[in-house]
Chains A and B, each alone.
Chain A
Amino acid sequence: MPPIIANATSPSIDSLAVDFDHHRLFETLVAGMADLLETTAGAEDACAYVSSIAARLGSDIEKQYKTALGVQNLNRDQLLAVLIDLNRRADGAFFIIEEDEDHIVLGNCKCPLGQAVINHPSLCMLTSNIFGVMTANAVGYAAVDLEQTIARGAAACRVVLHLKRTELHPDTREYFRDDASAASN
């Protein structure tokens, strides 16, 4: 390829209006792979694949926070702080809409996965599993309801974490305190 030399008549290459950067690269890659996964393996198995990645990531992040805090187990306040902090670090914008004894409702108007998540609900398994795993390990049980999601076209996500067993919707996902966390209690 001949060298590209910027001169007076052509604008410099690095100032051109080209829609590409680090984020765009990963967004495109993630969206493409989610699409492939959903169309090839079907929605359910796609969720299983993403859940596996998320569950691993969830317990790994949890371990890091616990070690950093020097605790065996996160209490409810720590859990909430950790969930919000985690999302801030991941460039999301989760916030608590309401909470009581039995449930916590979280909102989010900016998905950490950016545009990639649009039309790819299997990617929401990241949120569901990380929140579910960490919450279940902290309080013993969690059922996650993704009531509204950006992935399905909503302006913001509305995620309900049930802390007690209730009647389950078909889409509600249950998480239990895993045996390792239970043993360390």
Chain B
Amino acid sequence: MMHLQLRTELDLETYLEPSLVACCDGSIHARNRAAHLALSPQTSISSLFDICSGRAEALRTYLIRCSGSRQPLIEKVSFNGEGGAFDYRCFGNALVPRRKSRPASLLLRLLPVRDARFAARAECMKRLRTERHWRLAMEQSAELRSDRLRLVEQYCFVAEALRVAEAQNRRLQDEIKHIRTDERERIAQDLHDHAGQEMALVLVELRRMRDAAHGPARARLNDLAVHVSEVGRKIHHAVVGGRPRIVEELGLSRAIEITAVWFTTDGRLDLSFKKKGVESDALPAALESALYRVAQEALTNALRHALGAQKIDIVLEFNCQSVSLTIADDGVGLSTEAQQQGELGSSGIGLRGMQQRMNGIGGTLQIGPRFGKGTIVTAVAPLRPEPQQSAPP
């Protein structure tokens, strides 16, 4: 027994945890230093039941169970120590089985009641779960981000398609305009080449007849010749009017200025031409054409109707939003009748034509008395055309 005790005492020190050799009846045979420190170090104890804090019956049953097993059995036990009762996880097994009247001797090892490995494992599982949640959240957010990118991409694609469609639309409109211009030129050419020639022949014949005639017939033939000549002039006007080549070649302001100079070459009228602002190279063709035609007609009217006029003032002003043209004379001014008609559409086609041309490019045309004396025509053309107004009736 002594021999066994010594041997187990030596062995016990190889365990780091409090370990003891006890009999199945609870009597303590040996304990290692750790057990000595943990279990009532001040007093010498002889039995486990002396330090057992409650559940003595459970301890007794456990010790009996251990006595039957060479392999350790685990049970929660509670022993008094320095700082009061303390719970342990006890690994107990039979060292020497019962012999005759001698009870079995047991090895009991006391470990913390909570197995640190389980706590670590639980911690690890918790961490893994958190990491999984985090990963999921990241995945979802990445998905959202890629959705957003896809939407932006699609938006850009649609915007680009729209841009292409708009460019195509613009090109088609230009093409239509060109086709229209070509057609107009063809008609003008026809008028000039056929009706114009015929008219000239008729006029020559009429004049010959007039010169040969006498009395009222001669006056009548003269009226007819004047009338036919006027019609011819109008046709010529229409033919020339369809093609402001001069604008294409010189630009709007130079074209208007040169035309005005032609109108006033006889020296009857003084001419003042002012250009304000910077003329863009890329003015819309329709705008240039409309303003040039307005200038032509206004100058024609001034020569024809502004009796007593001495001076014509032309101002062409460019700014970033619009181009405005004013042509003023100091003649008799509009008759009241013509003024009323000016609002609604005059008897002649000149004013109506000006109005239509300006409407056609989203601009405005006004004709009215000039401050002091005379008549002033104001045409304003927006550079970014407004939605088209319907032409006046």
Within 8 A of B (CB), among A21-72: 36, 39-41, 47-49, 51-52, 55-56, 59
Q: Is the CB of B24 within 8 A of A51?
A: no
Nearest chain A residue, comparing its CB with the CB of B74: A52
Q: Which of A36, A55, A137 is in CB contact (< 8 Å) with B121?
A: A36
Instruction: State which of A7-15, A91-99, A112-120, A168-176 sits at the interface with chain B.
Output: A168-176
Nearest chain A residue, comparing its CB with the CB of B124: A40
Within 8 A of A (CB), among B41-77: 63-65, 67-75
A102 to B182, CA, bound (A): 125
Within 8 A of B (CB), among A114-158: 129, 132-133, 136-137
Nearest chain A residue, comparing its CB with the CB of B121: A40
Q: Is the CB of B118 within 8 A of A179?
A: no
Tell me if A's interface is mostly helix, strand, loop or mixed: helix
Q: Is the CB of A178 within 8 A of B67?
A: yes
Within 8 A of A (CB), among B109-164: 115, 117-118, 121
B97 to chain A, nearest CB (A): 4
A16 at the interface (CB under 8 A from B): no
Nearest chain A residue, comparing its CB with the CB of B68: A178
Q: Is the CB of B68 within 8 A of A133?
A: yes
Residues in A whose Cβ lies below 8 Å from that of B81: none
A79 to chain B, nearest CB (A): 15
Q: Is the CB of B118 within 8 A of A129?
A: no
Residues in A whose Cβ lies below 8 Å from that of B64: 178-180
Q: Which of A36, A47, A56 is in CB contact (< 8 Å) with B65?
A: A56
A132 to B94, CA, bound (A): 14
A40 to B116, CA, bound (A): 10
Q: Is the CB of A179 within 8 A of B71?
A: no
Q: Is the CB of A176 within 8 A of B98?
A: yes
B91 at the interface (CB under 8 A from A): yes
Q: Which of A39, A41, A175, A182 is in CB contact (< 8 Å) with B69?
A: A175
Residues in A whose Cβ lies below 8 Å from that of B380: none
Known: A40-B117, A40-B121, A182-B98. A173 touches B71 (CB 8 A): yes
Residues in A whose Cβ lies below 8 Å from that of B94: 176
A118 to chain B, nearest CB (A): 22
Residues in A whose Cβ lies below 8 Å from that of B71: 47-48, 51, 173-174
A182 to B161, CA, bound (A): 98
A62 to chain B, nearest CB (A): 11
Nearest chain B residue, comparing its CB with the CB of A54: B73
Q: Is the CB of B118 within 8 A of A48?
A: no
Which of B65, B72, B75, B103 has the most chain A CB atoms closer than 10 A to its own CB? B65
B35 at the interface (CB under 8 A from A): no
Q: Which of A129, A133, A176 is in CB contact (< 8 Å) with B104?
A: A176
A177 at the interface (CB under 8 A from B): yes
Residues in A whose Cβ lies below 8 Å from that of B65: 55-56, 59, 133, 178
Q: Which of A47, A129, A179 is in CB contact (< 8 Å) with B98?
A: A179
A177 to B70, CA, bound (A): 11
Residues in B whose Cβ lies below 8 Å from that of A178: 24, 64-65, 67-68, 98, 104
Q: Is the CB of A41 within 8 A of B67?
A: no
B positions within 8 Å CB-CB of A: 24-25, 63-65, 67-75, 91, 94, 97-98, 103-104, 115, 117-118, 121
A positions within 8 Å CB-CB of B: 36, 39-41, 47-49, 51-52, 55-56, 59, 129, 132-133, 136-137, 173-182
25 inter-chain pairs at a CB distance below 8 angstroms, sorted by A residue, are A40-B115, A40-B118, A40-B121, A48-B71, A48-B74, A49-B74, A51-B71, A55-B69, A133-B65, A133-B68, A137-B68, A173-B69, A173-B70, A174-B69, A175-B70, A176-B67, A176-B68, A176-B97, A176-B104, A178-B64, A178-B65, A178-B67, A178-B104, A179-B64, A181-B68
User: A-B pairs with the 5 shortest C-beta distances?
Assistant: A178-B68, A174-B70, A176-B97, A179-B24, A52-B74
